[in-house]
Structure 1
Amino acid sequence: MGAGGGQVFRKQAGVRRTMMRIGAGATLSFGLLFAGVSLLELARAGVLFGWSWGTQPNQEVILLRVMMINALLLTLLMIRNLVIDFDVVTERLRKKLNIVNGFILSISIVALLLNYFEGPLVTQLETAISLVSIFCAGLTVYLFHLLVQVFRNVRDRLSHEQELSGKLYHQLTTDRLTGIPGRMLFQEHLAASIATAQKTGVSGAVLFFDLDDFKMFNDSLGHDFGDQVLLAVTDRILQHSTEGMRLYRLGGDEFVILLEGLQGEEEATQVAERVFAAMKEKLSLDGQDLFINLSLGISRFPEDGSDAQTLYRNAEMAMYHAKSIGRNNYQLFESAMNKRAAERLLLAGDLRRALERDEFFLAYQPQVCLTSGRITGMEALIRWQHPERGFVSPGEFIPLAEETKLIIPIGEWVLYTACRQNKAWQDAGFTPVCVSVNLSAFQFGQPNLVAMIKKVLEETGLEPQYLNLEITESITMNNVERAINTMHEINDLGIGISIDDFGTGYSSLNYLKKFPIQTLKIDQSFVRDMTEEHQDVAIPTAIIAMAHSLNLKVIAEGVETEVQQQMLRERGCDEMQGYLISRPLPALEFEKLFHSLPGQEQLLAN
């Protein structure tokens, strides 16, 4: 609850206290007046104190005067409390009210007392009171005029407070940046939707999603640019919204869509597909062209939960599962995800300690020239040997490292270790070759990336021409201009750049011509189909031809058979790597591979 909300509650409590004081004061004054009148009546009846008591006064007149005196006292009490608790009566207005009210009150009390006495003096006083009463009539009108001013002040203040309360409620329930409902309204609406669904038997769904690599935009281009991205995403989704679909921003890059009145599971997935369709076209912001990827999880009610917290948690769990299997997709919640989430939580804890415990090591896979058969380079691949779990697949812990941002220290360790090992092999007399290291999207977006790479080269002593950095198409397309600038800075250090897994992304030839890269790596999925039975070579052939037209070297990944090797050689592919040559090997075993090739004789039969 914000400070504004607390202020509203304090003012509401103040109103209650004020009303209680006024009510108690009114009751007390009325009781004291009737007690005083009763005492006067007893004194008159007993002819006490030897005073000139009069006859039985008119009870209706007495009651009327008592009511009038009580009203005047109540007015004074209200004015006093309004001055103390609320800024609606100015000091000048308060003095006027007190003077007029006090004068009329004094005359009324004297007139009440005179009803119980008789005599010449009393007669003279009654005559004077009658004359003054004419003046009091005018004062009463003036008093009503003053009270009208107080009423107007109270009305204006209440109107202001109501407007302020509305603004505060709007601030508490609406996202300030995008103008769409926020977390508080989502929780209220979801709880109401669940209650309605339980009564009517209809279904609903929660679609939780966040933007992949959003932190990279903030870190590399600033928070203002990140805000523009969030606004553009919100606008895109609202343009594709349908009846029964409500969009909320929970904070940061996290959004949620609430669906109501669903007839089947496919309606929720159709909305998810509509969201992805909205993000398919590139965004142009401040002269930057970028593509937005997101990961989305779906939980349904009543199937996946009967309360708001459970449904939200399950949708979030499904979203993280979508990230773990490659990002930029949506997943429906399944009960098995609870177990997987618990396992991932434990694995994340182990991952944080893996660097400290020296549980990581690098495996090196050779890259071989298809013409000469010589080893021309190697790719450094991280491996994790867990003391209890044993070998943990990179496909399992790399996405987790990216989610937990541990990819930054882990990536720096990989780069440093690969460069140090390559330099050590060169110092030991091995033929110098280039080592390739993969950069994740999160690493590539770090503003200190180039400075970190330069520092590693200086500390390890490796010359920059013996280091190659591999990035994926999706990294370059998130922010084309920024990616190009970063690649130029890397090239300026003398380091080569490769596009990894080429053909699986969505980069265009127009962008590819602008990228300062030296190598394309054909994804193994295309190489896998190059068999005698299934000679699907159109895509690899096109990639090789296109790359050579741009003066780029081509490396084929995942080569496992001699048939694939021969087909690639025939189409002019420059280099290859895969199990046909060698699996990724730890450093000592890779050294043996070097030793088994004295003078780097040809490894392949021409």
Structure 2
Amino acid sequence: MSNSKGGEGQRRDRGDSETERDTTGSQPTVFALGEERLSLLELRALSPQEAVWRGRSVGLSDALIMMVDDEMLNIEMTEAFLADAGYRHFVNTDRPELAVPMMRKEQPGVLLLDLSMPRVSGMDILAAMREDAVLRHVPVIVLTSSTDPQVKLKALALGAMDFLSKPVDPSELALRIRNTLAASAYREYLSQHDTLTALPNKQRYRRDMTAVLDEALASAHPGALIHVGVDDLGRINDALGRVVGDQLLQRVAKRLASCVQTEHGGELSSDQHNPTLYRFDGDEFAIIVPYMEGVPSAAFINKLLEDSTVNFQRAGFPELFVTCSVGVSVFPNDGTEPDVLMRNAGLALRHAKLAGPHRYEFFSPQFKDMALSRLDLSAELRHAVSRDEIELLYEPRVELATGRVVAAEAVLRWRHASGRMIEGDELMDLAGSSEMDVVLNEWKFEALLKHVKNWRTAGLQLVPIAAKVSLANMRPSDLAHLVNASIAGGLDARLLLLELQQVAALDNLPAREAAAIAGMRKKGVRVALARFGCNASVSHLRQLPCDEILVDPSFVRDLDRDGTAQAMLLGIGDLARRLRLACVACGVETAQQLAFLKKNGWTLGQGPLFGERLPGLAFAARWLARGSKPVHAPMPSNLS
């Protein structure tokens, strides 16, 4: 054996044919005196073999083990023993000043590091590794003859994972290496895989996308990113619980994985890569298609839509069918950077969902233009109030059995200078994203108080007024201040209903804010959760004492063609009755929808079927004059 100093870094791959080494000579200081070579049975017990978790295996014997020690004899004896224990790949140096450059060139799975070395100490190497964004994650086992506890503490503080005092028991060293590699591999696995579906996660998606894109650009062939989103997962979580939603995601993941797996080695694969499935975010999956062109691409997308449709049934509910939508961006046409392509695939998916469930869209530049247009609208909204472009409209809320108007919902409309009308939930969402919702709420209460005073002066028959209020940027205590000012100005608290939107802000509500809502209710103001099943969920009912829930219009809109929407609507209605809450079906447009609601015990509704939204004066003349007739919505001829 050579004990020379100053040798260059060496890498060795050792096979099973490695000859036995003579250990009867001078004992290397790395091992304990008198330690004999382990028996074959003991070696097999220490052999890394395969570490198994979550249905996957990682070969620890393939890990690269690096050793830095100024005594080459220690290095050679250690490598010989570890080779017998099943490890095959080693790199070493007895020149510590070369250690960090060597690790940057070829990152090891574990580093065995001596502390007491000339020129550059092990502590110096640990400090340099700690400053490196990549090397700081390399697990280090320190081997040293020092018995000073402060040395051990300093090494651990600098990032060492384990510490062994020389002379080292070889079997203990093998166990420490095995456990360190297993823990490191498992940590790496968790960092790149989704815990719910076991699919590669967003971090892995970004990394793999870079490699696939580099190959495609170099070979001048097209590829694609496909984003797959589960339709209306939020509604399922709200109606049936998040556990059911997670089970649904797992089933969709298995179906998509099976569909993608069948394409390996086929027309959608490139020379170096196969199509791969990832869990991207929330209700969304992603697929990297290395090669995508022509008819096979369309067939694959249709197969994704078909295979991702799942059905399930629970006691007391009809059979539910859950679908997915798909958005596609193609490279290099839609971008040559991973972030741009991912953003464009996401935009395509959102437009597919807006067009209706179970659809697909390829990215179009107009999608980006629309997103930029929304940013422009947000900026212009800040000037809309001063330009007198905002008006307050009223929509009738009726008793379904009689058609009698029992309340009115106050709705903001923005008459944009271009002639476009933006109103209702669209305007509230836009205001929330641009932090203009507080200003619009203040303007709404001023206009509402003015209208109510005029109606009372004219001797009209008043009905409760529902005011939508976004809590995206407004605290309940600030809302209470607006309400109290309106009541002080002459508004009867019993005629005011607050429809709270963007109620995610109510999560973990401080006691002071909860007291503000309770104080308004105590004065006679009614409180409702708006867009229930979309932006508000069952969990908010537990946090917020309220009097009503307003079902999101999407449930009613899909009644005629979606059994899932029917089942969920029935479930929400039953929940409201059990909690003794008024429940309003919003967005009623057709006589068939009205018939379904009446047949299933719903009492309140609003929507285009009952009359258009009107300015204050026109609404009062139509609905508040004494002797006004009830709404008579047309009924379908095939009612059963």
TM-score by length of 1: 0.49
> TM-score scaled to structure 2, two decimals?
0.47
Kindly indicate which of the two structures has a greater share of residues assigned to strand.
2
Query: Greater helix share, 1 or 2?
Result: 1
